[in-house]
Structure 1
Amino acid sequence: MQAQDLLRQTDKLPNVPDVVRELIQLLSDPDVNYSELTEKVSHDQTISLKVLRVVNSAYFGLSRKISSIDEATVLLGTDKLKTLVIASGFASSVSKVEGLKLPEFWADSFRVAELAQWLAKRTPLVQADEAFTVGIVHNIGRLLLHLTEPTIAQEIQELVANRKAGRVKAEQDLLGFTSQDAGKALMDLWKFPAGLGLAVQLHKRPFANEEPNPLACVLNLACYLNACIRAEREYDLVREGFPMAVAKAAGLNEGVVYELDDALMIGDGLNQLI
């Protein structure tokens, strides 16, 4: 089997709204026309309602109720609006997946995205909005696998749960490729910027190529911190285990380990989008 085989089951692929795809494709364009983009967002009722619900929540703590996407853009700025639109768009892409608890899956993805963004703001080598986006989709290949091959996905889950294999090895043995490969294939199909798909593909092994990929390194570190949060690991152990070689390749300075207590406070603020 190859990753492309999963994509042929077109009726089972996640349904990401056009406005989200367009936004991600335009991430690298500093001259994007945001007024046109916000107009498109306002025409997608599902996303608009979710965005406005979060904008009016305690997460943003605004002093008055916001009733339109235009108002949200003015008060939050386009960067935060992009964050909300991308997160809500992916959270709405599927309604039920065999073998996955979607609220947990997206909560995990959102926190990795926020951690990746936090790290990206501390290195000149990575754009914060790109880091957020790859965080949201870093596990999209696993979602795709559960949608298209639920039986094999369950076998992999059991191997990992019973400690008979790590996830990467289990996927290689049963599929011949990894869910990261599948994620990149899906992002290529969606015509996302190539650098985002590559980062998703490499984040489990950021030194696989001769030159480390800084975005993949940031995503690798975000996943490490997320695992520490989930395990409620003590701060000293988090700092001790922090992969400094990956951090260096991401362009982070050594002092970042003394800021990790701030990163560990990142919670589930975007969960209202689920």
Structure 2
Amino acid sequence: MPQASFSLGGLPQSTDEEEPMEVSELLQQTHQLPNVPDVVRELIQQLNNPKADYSVIADKIIHDQTLSLKVLRLVNSAHFGLSRKITSINEAIVLLGMTQLKTMVVASGFAGSVKEVEGLDLKRFWSESFEVAALSKWFAAKSKDVDPDTAFTVGLIHNIGQLLLHLSKPKLAEAIVKLIDETGCSRSAAEMERLNFTTAEAGQALLKYWQFPTSLGEAVRYHKQPFAAETPNSLSAIVNIACYINTCIQHNQPIDDVITQFPTAVAELAGLPDDIAETSEEAMQLRSGLDELL
């Protein structure tokens, strides 16, 4: 997605308290890292495995009371409009299918990974992440190259590096937000000035620490600039487009402008049809329906 142009030379200099650091420093205090349930990690590691035994995973979900209750609350929400109350995960699988259940479990697991973060509105953070995830899955379903479940997961965690920064270095995170507000520079420019790396890179480092598939980390790192990767890939391109549409929604962008400014080169990389920009209005009506998890 195009970044606002800004001269780094014009940014205020860091104070001694905000000296540039290494990505690895964010991972050193392991007790502060997001706590993602093991069953969620297993689901993500099995994303592209056609031989995955989801009956075993479903059994693990059943025995995780927190996850089960959250998922059942969502299944019984108005968003799904089911004719009767669902009382067990097994019933949910029968009615919704394992694919839909996986979406809910992954979303719930990440949204519950931390309870409170200094300087970050967690509810807003995850709500926006849910929307990008839903859009990523929607566009991936129209792509010839990208698995929708994988796209959903990357969309969900595309900003996980920002969460990590707020957890590990809240004062630096606050300084970055202040710099953006005061100068109007892009977030990436502010992060490079204050950190010497971006939170997208930090997100990739966290996913590597969690031993998630390498492709997920690469997609997170390059979702803002898919063509910056040594080998540009369709997964980061899908998330880039999802972020573009989500930004247009947040800024109430007129649909004609959304279509005119649609990143067509990124859409081509994503394996999307030539006329995909024409579906923008439909995409902008999409809602994740996952806020019940918060």
Distance 1:268 1:19, change over 3 A: same
Shift, 1:163, TM fit? 3.0
Identity in percent: 53
The one-letter amino acid of 1:125's match is: D
The total of aligned residue pairs comes to 274
- How much does 1:107 deviate? 0.4
What is the 5 A alignment of 1:135-174? 135-174=155-194
Aligned partner of 1:128 among 148, 165, 172: 148
3-state SS, counterpart of residue 254 of structure 1: coil
Please say if residues 132 and 243 of structure 2, whose CA atoms lie closer than 8 Å, have aligned partners that are also in contact. Answer: yes
Superposition pairs for residues 40-189 of structure 1, below 5 Å? 40-189=60-209
1:164 deviates by 4.3
1:8-35 CA deviation, whole Å, 9 max, x = no partner? 1111111111110111001110111111
Structure 1 spans left out of the alignment, 5+ residues: none
CA distance in 2: counterparts of 1:194 and 1:164, whole angstroms? 33
Cα deviation 1:39-97 (Å, max 9, x = unaligned)? 00011111100100010111111111110001101110011000000000001001111
Q: 1:64 is aligned with what amino acid?
A: R
* 2:130 and 2:156 in contact (8 A); partners too: yes
Equivalent in the alignment of 2:45:
25
Aligned equivalent of 2:9:
none
Distance 2:185 2:247 in 1: 18
| Partner SS, residue 62 of structure 2 | helix
- 1:182 Cα shift? 0.4
Q: Contact 2:117–2:166 (CA<8 Å) still a contact in 1? A: yes
8 Å contact kept, 2:134–2:288: no
Aligned residue identity for 2:213: P
Residue 35 of structure 1 corresponds to 55
Distance 1:242 1:36 in 2: 42
CA distance in 1, matches of 2:183, 2:147: 36
Describe the SS at the equivalent of 1:103: helix
What residue number does 2:238 align with? 218
Cα offset, 1:268, TM superposition: 4.5
Q: Distance in 2 between matches of 1:253 and 1:65?
A: 40
Find the aligned partners of 2:181 and 2:89 in 1 and give their Cα distance: 43
Q: How far apart, CA to CA, are the structure 1 residues paired with 2:144 and 2:64?
A: 34
TM-score (norm 2): 0.91
Shift of 1:209: 2.7
Query: 1:162 is paired with a residue of what secondary structure?
Result: helix
Per the alignment, residue 3 of structure 2 pairs with none
Aligned-partner Cα distance in 2 for 1:238–1:162:
27
Moved over 6 A (4+): none
Deviations 1:83-114 (A, max 9, x none): 00000000100111111101100000000000
Equivalence for 1:7: 27
Unpaired runs of at least 5, structure 2: 1-20
Larger Rg: 1 or 2? 2
Give CA-to-partner distance per residue, 1:134-170, whole Å, 9 cap, x none. 0110000000000000001000001112234211111
